[in-house]
Structure 1
Amino acid sequence: MKTIKVSVVTPDGPVFDDDVEMVSTKAKTGELGILPGHIPMVAPLEIGAVRLKKDNKTEYVAVSGGFLEVRPEQVTILAQAAEKSEDIDVERALRAKERAEQRLRDQKAEHYDFRRAESALRRAINRLSVAERR
Protein backbone atom coordinates (compact mmCIF):
# COMPACT_ATOMS: atom_id res chain seq x y z
CA MET A 1 0.00 0.00 0.00
CA LYS A 2 1.17 3.54 -0.75
CA THR A 3 2.45 5.65 2.11
CA ILE A 4 2.96 9.31 2.89
CA LYS A 5 5.78 10.73 5.04
CA VAL A 6 4.54 12.44 8.21
CA SER A 7 6.53 14.75 10.47
CA VAL A 8 5.14 16.20 13.70
CA VAL A 9 7.44 18.94 14.94
CA THR A 10 7.43 21.21 18.00
CA PRO A 11 9.84 23.97 19.09
CA ASP A 12 11.52 21.28 21.23
CA GLY A 13 12.15 19.05 18.22
CA PRO A 14 10.53 16.22 16.27
CA VAL A 15 7.84 14.11 17.95
CA PHE A 16 6.94 11.76 15.09
CA ASP A 17 8.66 11.04 11.77
CA ASP A 18 7.57 8.02 9.74
CA ASP A 19 5.72 6.84 6.66
CA VAL A 20 2.02 6.07 7.17
CA GLU A 21 -0.92 5.03 5.03
CA MET A 22 -3.38 7.67 6.32
CA VAL A 23 -3.44 10.74 8.54
CA SER A 24 -6.61 11.96 10.25
CA THR A 25 -6.87 15.12 12.32
CA LYS A 26 -9.19 17.97 13.20
CA ALA A 27 -8.63 21.32 11.51
CA LYS A 28 -10.45 24.54 12.39
CA THR A 29 -12.73 23.86 9.40
CA GLY A 30 -13.47 20.22 10.32
CA GLU A 31 -12.10 16.69 10.23
CA LEU A 32 -9.42 15.93 7.62
CA GLY A 33 -8.38 12.58 6.21
CA ILE A 34 -5.17 12.61 4.18
CA LEU A 35 -3.93 9.84 1.90
CA PRO A 36 -0.83 9.68 -0.31
CA GLY A 37 -1.23 11.99 -3.32
CA HIS A 38 -3.50 14.47 -1.48
CA ILE A 39 -3.70 17.93 -3.00
CA PRO A 40 -1.42 20.55 -1.42
CA MET A 41 -2.99 22.56 1.38
CA VAL A 42 -2.29 24.38 4.64
CA ALA A 43 -4.75 24.37 7.53
CA PRO A 44 -4.79 25.56 11.15
CA LEU A 45 -5.37 22.71 13.61
CA GLU A 46 -7.61 22.42 16.65
CA ILE A 47 -6.47 20.93 19.94
CA GLY A 48 -6.95 17.23 19.26
CA ALA A 49 -5.56 13.88 18.29
CA VAL A 50 -3.66 13.13 15.11
CA ARG A 51 -4.39 9.54 14.04
CA LEU A 52 -1.67 7.85 12.02
CA LYS A 53 -2.61 4.54 10.37
CA LYS A 54 -0.06 2.01 9.17
CA ASP A 55 -0.12 -1.78 8.84
CA ASN A 56 -3.61 -2.08 10.40
CA LYS A 57 -2.39 -0.22 13.51
CA THR A 58 -3.19 3.30 14.63
CA GLU A 59 -0.80 5.57 16.52
CA TYR A 60 -2.03 8.72 18.23
CA VAL A 61 -0.32 12.04 18.82
CA ALA A 62 -1.93 14.71 21.01
CA VAL A 63 -1.40 18.18 19.54
CA SER A 64 -2.21 21.54 21.09
CA GLY A 65 -3.26 23.15 17.83
CA GLY A 66 -0.78 24.34 15.27
CA PHE A 67 -0.63 24.08 11.49
CA LEU A 68 -0.82 21.27 8.98
CA GLU A 69 0.96 21.44 5.63
CA VAL A 70 0.07 18.80 3.07
CA ARG A 71 2.01 18.01 -0.07
CA PRO A 72 1.36 14.98 -2.29
CA GLU A 73 4.12 12.90 -0.65
CA GLN A 74 4.54 14.58 2.76
CA VAL A 75 2.53 15.94 5.69
CA THR A 76 4.14 18.30 8.18
CA ILE A 77 2.45 19.26 11.43
CA LEU A 78 3.89 22.21 13.31
CA ALA A 79 2.55 22.35 16.87
CA GLN A 80 3.43 24.31 19.98
CA ALA A 81 3.19 21.04 21.92
CA ALA A 82 2.71 17.42 20.83
CA GLU A 83 3.07 14.05 22.55
CA LYS A 84 2.78 10.48 21.33
CA SER A 85 0.21 8.53 23.35
CA GLU A 86 2.84 6.36 25.02
CA ASP A 87 4.82 9.45 26.12
CA ILE A 88 1.96 11.18 27.94
CA ASP A 89 2.38 11.45 31.70
CA VAL A 90 -1.20 10.67 32.78
CA GLU A 91 -0.72 11.88 36.36
CA ARG A 92 0.65 15.22 35.13
CA ALA A 93 -2.25 15.57 32.67
CA LEU A 94 -4.77 14.82 35.44
CA ARG A 95 -3.20 17.50 37.65
CA ALA A 96 -3.33 20.00 34.77
CA LYS A 97 -6.99 19.15 34.19
CA GLU A 98 -7.82 19.63 37.88
CA ARG A 99 -5.95 22.98 37.97
CA ALA A 100 -7.79 24.22 34.89
CA GLU A 101 -11.17 23.12 36.25
CA GLN A 102 -10.44 24.88 39.55
CA ARG A 103 -9.44 28.07 37.74
CA LEU A 104 -12.66 27.99 35.73
CA ARG A 105 -14.68 27.60 38.94
CA ASP A 106 -12.76 30.40 40.64
CA GLN A 107 -12.33 32.66 37.64
CA LYS A 108 -14.74 35.37 38.84
CA ALA A 109 -13.22 35.64 42.28
CA GLU A 110 -9.60 35.39 41.19
CA HIS A 111 -9.84 37.19 37.82
CA TYR A 112 -8.20 34.32 35.95
CA ASP A 113 -8.22 34.60 32.19
CA PHE A 114 -11.21 32.43 31.22
CA ARG A 115 -9.97 31.64 27.70
CA ARG A 116 -6.56 30.63 28.96
CA ALA A 117 -8.05 28.33 31.62
CA GLU A 118 -10.49 26.86 29.12
CA SER A 119 -7.68 26.19 26.64
CA ALA A 120 -5.59 24.53 29.37
CA LEU A 121 -8.55 22.31 30.22
CA ARG A 122 -9.05 21.32 26.57
CA ARG A 123 -5.34 20.46 26.22
CA ALA A 124 -5.39 18.33 29.38
CA ILE A 125 -8.56 16.48 28.34
CA ASN A 126 -7.05 15.85 24.89
CA ARG A 127 -3.84 14.43 26.39
CA LEU A 128 -5.85 12.13 28.68
CA SER A 129 -8.03 11.00 25.79
CA VAL A 130 -4.99 10.20 23.63
CA ALA A 131 -3.24 8.43 26.52
CA GLU A 132 -6.25 6.11 26.91
CA ARG A 133 -5.76 4.88 23.34
CA ARG A 134 -2.32 3.34 23.98
Structure 2
Amino acid sequence: MYRHASRLLIRSSSSSASGGRAAAAAAGPRAAFSTDVPAPATEDTGFVEAWRKVAPSLEPPKTPSAFMKPRPPTPSSIPSKLTVNFVLPYQSEISNKEVDMVIIPATTGQMGVLPGHVATIAELKPGLLSVHEGNEVNKYFVSSGFAFIHANSFADIVAVEAVPLDRIDSSLVQKGLADFTQKLNSATTDLEKAEAQIGVDVHSALNAALTG
Protein backbone atom coordinates (compact mmCIF):
# COMPACT_ATOMS: atom_id res chain seq x y z
CA MET A 1 0.00 0.00 0.00
CA TYR A 2 2.92 2.37 0.70
CA ARG A 3 4.12 1.86 -2.84
CA HIS A 4 0.84 2.58 -4.59
CA ALA A 5 -0.64 5.32 -2.39
CA SER A 6 1.32 8.18 -3.91
CA ARG A 7 0.65 6.97 -7.46
CA LEU A 8 -3.09 7.36 -6.95
CA LEU A 9 -2.65 10.98 -5.90
CA ILE A 10 -0.67 12.26 -8.90
CA ARG A 11 -2.37 14.90 -11.02
CA SER A 12 -0.82 13.83 -14.32
CA SER A 13 -2.03 10.84 -16.30
CA SER A 14 -0.41 7.44 -16.22
CA SER A 15 0.80 7.96 -19.78
CA SER A 16 3.28 10.60 -18.64
CA ALA A 17 4.66 8.24 -16.03
CA SER A 18 5.00 5.51 -18.64
CA GLY A 19 6.80 7.93 -20.90
CA GLY A 20 9.23 8.76 -18.11
CA ARG A 21 9.98 5.11 -17.53
CA ALA A 22 10.48 4.48 -21.24
CA ALA A 23 12.88 7.42 -21.45
CA ALA A 24 14.80 6.11 -18.46
CA ALA A 25 15.05 2.68 -20.08
CA ALA A 26 16.26 4.20 -23.35
CA ALA A 27 18.92 6.16 -21.49
CA GLY A 28 20.78 2.94 -20.74
CA PRO A 29 22.13 1.47 -17.50
CA ARG A 30 22.18 3.49 -14.30
CA ALA A 31 25.17 5.51 -13.23
CA ALA A 32 27.52 3.70 -10.88
CA PHE A 33 26.94 4.13 -7.18
CA SER A 34 29.78 5.47 -5.08
CA THR A 35 30.46 1.95 -3.83
CA ASP A 36 30.89 0.61 -7.37
CA VAL A 37 34.64 1.06 -7.44
CA PRO A 38 36.73 -1.38 -9.48
CA ALA A 39 38.89 -3.66 -7.37
CA PRO A 40 40.35 -7.14 -7.72
CA ALA A 41 38.87 -9.92 -5.63
CA THR A 42 40.54 -10.35 -2.27
CA GLU A 43 41.18 -13.52 -0.28
CA ASP A 44 40.50 -14.24 3.34
CA THR A 45 44.08 -15.32 3.96
CA GLY A 46 43.40 -16.72 7.42
CA PHE A 47 40.63 -18.96 6.13
CA VAL A 48 42.68 -20.08 3.10
CA GLU A 49 45.66 -21.05 5.27
CA ALA A 50 43.45 -23.01 7.67
CA TRP A 51 41.70 -24.74 4.75
CA ARG A 52 44.97 -25.84 3.14
CA LYS A 53 46.15 -27.38 6.39
CA VAL A 54 43.00 -29.50 6.58
CA ALA A 55 42.43 -30.21 2.87
CA PRO A 56 45.63 -29.42 0.94
CA SER A 57 44.45 -31.20 -2.22
CA LEU A 58 41.22 -29.19 -2.55
CA GLU A 59 40.84 -25.63 -3.74
CA PRO A 60 39.42 -23.43 -0.95
CA PRO A 61 35.89 -22.13 -1.56
CA LYS A 62 35.19 -18.46 -2.02
CA THR A 63 34.31 -16.49 1.12
CA PRO A 64 32.23 -13.29 1.31
CA SER A 65 35.37 -11.13 1.42
CA ALA A 66 36.31 -12.41 -2.05
CA PHE A 67 33.24 -10.68 -3.48
CA MET A 68 33.45 -7.47 -1.46
CA LYS A 69 34.86 -4.25 -2.83
CA PRO A 70 36.86 -1.85 -0.69
CA ARG A 71 35.23 1.23 0.74
CA PRO A 72 35.52 4.33 -1.43
CA PRO A 73 38.37 6.60 -0.34
CA THR A 74 37.60 9.19 2.31
CA PRO A 75 39.01 12.64 1.49
CA SER A 76 41.43 14.20 3.95
CA SER A 77 39.29 17.34 4.13
CA ILE A 78 35.52 17.78 4.03
CA PRO A 79 34.37 18.59 0.47
CA SER A 80 32.15 21.59 -0.17
CA LYS A 81 29.42 19.51 -1.83
CA LEU A 82 27.51 16.30 -1.18
CA THR A 83 27.22 13.97 -4.20
CA VAL A 84 23.76 12.39 -4.40
CA ASN A 85 22.31 9.42 -6.27
CA PHE A 86 18.54 9.01 -5.94
CA VAL A 87 17.04 5.97 -7.66
CA LEU A 88 13.73 4.14 -7.95
CA PRO A 89 13.22 0.55 -9.16
CA TYR A 90 12.36 1.79 -12.66
CA GLN A 91 14.40 4.99 -13.12
CA SER A 92 17.08 7.29 -11.77
CA GLU A 93 15.81 10.61 -10.41
CA ILE A 94 19.20 12.09 -9.53
CA SER A 95 22.57 10.82 -10.72
CA ASN A 96 25.92 11.95 -9.29
CA LYS A 97 24.61 15.44 -8.57
CA GLU A 98 26.57 17.73 -6.28
CA VAL A 99 24.27 19.48 -3.80
CA ASP A 100 24.56 21.38 -0.54
CA MET A 101 22.33 19.16 1.59
CA VAL A 102 19.58 16.56 1.56
CA ILE A 103 16.94 16.05 4.24
CA ILE A 104 15.56 12.52 4.38
CA PRO A 105 12.52 11.11 6.22
CA ALA A 106 14.25 8.46 8.32
CA THR A 107 12.27 6.21 10.64
CA THR A 108 14.10 7.92 13.52
CA GLY A 109 13.01 11.38 12.32
CA GLN A 110 13.96 13.94 9.67
CA MET A 111 17.71 13.68 9.06
CA GLY A 112 19.80 16.40 7.44
CA VAL A 113 22.86 15.21 5.52
CA LEU A 114 25.70 17.63 4.77
CA PRO A 115 29.14 17.01 3.23
CA GLY A 116 31.33 15.13 5.70
CA HIS A 117 28.41 13.34 7.37
CA VAL A 118 29.37 10.22 9.29
CA ALA A 119 28.75 6.96 7.40
CA THR A 120 25.18 5.86 8.09
CA ILE A 121 22.43 3.57 6.81
CA ALA A 122 18.94 4.93 7.43
CA GLU A 123 15.58 3.30 6.73
CA LEU A 124 13.08 5.65 5.11
CA LYS A 125 9.45 6.09 6.12
CA PRO A 126 6.67 7.81 4.15
CA GLY A 127 7.58 11.47 4.13
CA LEU A 128 9.29 14.42 2.49
CA LEU A 129 12.72 14.16 0.88
CA SER A 130 14.24 17.54 0.00
CA VAL A 131 17.36 18.20 -2.05
CA HIS A 132 18.99 21.60 -1.46
CA GLU A 133 21.24 23.20 -4.06
CA GLY A 134 21.88 26.89 -3.47
CA ASN A 135 18.49 28.64 -3.40
CA GLU A 136 16.81 25.76 -5.22
CA VAL A 137 15.00 23.05 -3.26
CA ASN A 138 13.54 19.98 -4.99
CA LYS A 139 11.00 18.09 -2.91
CA TYR A 140 9.76 14.51 -3.29
CA PHE A 141 7.32 12.39 -1.35
CA VAL A 142 8.85 8.95 -0.80
CA SER A 143 7.01 5.84 0.34
CA SER A 144 9.86 3.84 1.86
CA GLY A 145 13.41 2.72 1.15
CA PHE A 146 16.94 3.22 2.44
CA ALA A 147 19.59 5.92 2.42
CA PHE A 148 23.26 4.95 2.40
CA ILE A 149 25.50 7.81 3.56
CA HIS A 150 29.17 7.14 2.82
CA ALA A 151 32.19 8.61 4.55
CA ASN A 152 33.42 10.14 1.27
CA SER A 153 30.42 12.55 1.13
CA PHE A 154 28.37 10.42 -1.25
CA ALA A 155 24.72 9.63 -0.53
CA ASP A 156 22.88 6.79 -2.28
CA ILE A 157 19.11 7.02 -1.73
CA VAL A 158 16.93 4.13 -2.88
CA ALA A 159 13.14 4.52 -2.65
CA VAL A 160 10.37 2.07 -3.52
CA GLU A 161 8.24 4.92 -4.89
CA ALA A 162 8.71 8.68 -5.10
CA VAL A 163 6.68 11.55 -6.54
CA PRO A 164 7.66 15.22 -6.96
CA LEU A 165 5.68 17.08 -4.32
CA ASP A 166 4.20 19.56 -6.80
CA ARG A 167 2.47 16.70 -8.65
CA ILE A 168 0.37 15.60 -5.67
CA ASP A 169 -3.25 16.77 -5.51
CA SER A 170 -3.99 18.00 -1.98
CA SER A 171 -7.77 17.49 -2.39
CA LEU A 172 -7.23 13.79 -3.13
CA VAL A 173 -4.96 13.53 -0.10
CA GLN A 174 -7.65 15.00 2.16
CA LYS A 175 -10.28 12.68 0.71
CA GLY A 176 -8.04 9.64 1.14
CA LEU A 177 -7.25 10.58 4.74
CA ALA A 178 -10.96 10.93 5.55
CA ASP A 179 -11.79 7.61 3.86
CA PHE A 180 -9.09 5.64 5.66
CA THR A 181 -9.92 7.27 9.00
CA GLN A 182 -13.52 6.13 8.57
CA LYS A 183 -12.35 2.62 7.64
CA LEU A 184 -10.13 2.51 10.72
CA ASN A 185 -13.01 3.52 13.00
CA SER A 186 -15.30 0.86 11.52
CA ALA A 187 -12.73 -1.96 11.20
CA THR A 188 -13.67 -5.17 13.00
CA THR A 189 -10.71 -7.48 12.25
CA ASP A 190 -6.98 -7.10 12.84
CA LEU A 191 -6.35 -7.19 9.08
CA GLU A 192 -8.87 -4.43 8.39
CA LYS A 193 -7.38 -2.32 11.19
CA ALA A 194 -3.83 -2.83 9.90
CA GLU A 195 -4.73 -1.93 6.31
CA ALA A 196 -6.69 1.13 7.40
CA GLN A 197 -3.87 2.26 9.72
CA ILE A 198 -1.36 2.07 6.86
CA GLY A 199 -3.67 4.23 4.75
CA VAL A 200 -4.03 6.76 7.56
CA ASP A 201 -0.26 6.88 8.12
CA VAL A 202 0.56 7.39 4.43
CA HIS A 203 -2.08 10.07 3.87
CA SER A 204 -1.13 11.83 7.11
CA ALA A 205 2.49 11.93 5.91
CA LEU A 206 1.35 13.24 2.52
CA ASN A 207 -0.75 15.92 4.19
CA ALA A 208 2.14 16.95 6.45
CA ALA A 209 4.48 17.18 3.44
CA LEU A 210 2.04 19.41 1.57
CA THR A 211 1.15 21.68 4.47
CA GLY A 212 4.58 21.80 6.10
Does the TM-score normalized on the shorter chain lie above 0.5?
A: yes
- Cα distance change of structure 1 residues 26 and 2 upon mapping to structure 2, 3 Å threshold: same
Is there any run of 5+ residues in structure 1 with no aligned partner, and where?
A: none
Quote the sequence identity (%).
23
Q: Which residue is 2:197 aligned to? A: 118
Deviations 1:66-101 (A, max 9, x none): 111112232122222211211223343333223211
Distance 1:52 1:107 in 2: 39
- Cα distance change of structure 1 residues 88 and 8 upon mapping to structure 2, 3 Å threshold: farther
Q: Which residue is 2:76 aligned to? A: none
Deviation at 1:111, TM superposition (A): 6.0
The answer to whether 1:69 aligns with 2:184 is no
Distance 2:132 2:145 in 1: 20
- Compute the TM-score of the two structures, normalised by the length of structure 1: 0.78
The answer to whether 1:107 aligns with 2:187 is yes
Distance 2:100 2:194 in 1: 36
Alpha-carbon RMSD: 2.5
- Map residues 22-101 of structure 1 onto 2, 5 A cutoff: 22-71=101-150, 72-101=152-181
SS in 1 for 2:115: coil
The answer to whether 1:12 aligns with 2:90 is yes
- Cα distance change of structure 1 residues 117 and 57 upon mapping to structure 2, 3 Å threshold: same
Is there any run of 5+ residues in structure 2 with no aligned partner, and where?
A: 1-78
- Compute the TM-score of the two structures, normalised by the length of structure 2: 0.53
- Cα distance change of structure 1 residues 45 and 59 upon mapping to structure 2, 3 Å threshold: same
Equivalent residue letter for 1:129? A
Distance 2:111 2:135 in 1: 19
Does the Cα contact within 8 Å between 1:26 and 1:45 map onto a contact in 2? Answer: yes
- Cα distance change of structure 1 residues 16 and 116 upon mapping to structure 2, 3 Å threshold: farther
| Max Rg structure | 2
Does the Cα contact within 8 Å between 1:67 and 1:78 map onto a contact in 2? Answer: yes
Runs of 4+ residues deviating >6 angstroms: none
Q: Which moved more, 1:39-48 or 1:123-132?
A: 123-132
Q: Which residue is 1:130 aligned to? A: 209
- Cα distance change of structure 1 residues 95 and 10 upon mapping to structure 2, 3 Å threshold: farther
Distance 1:123 1:73 in 2: 31
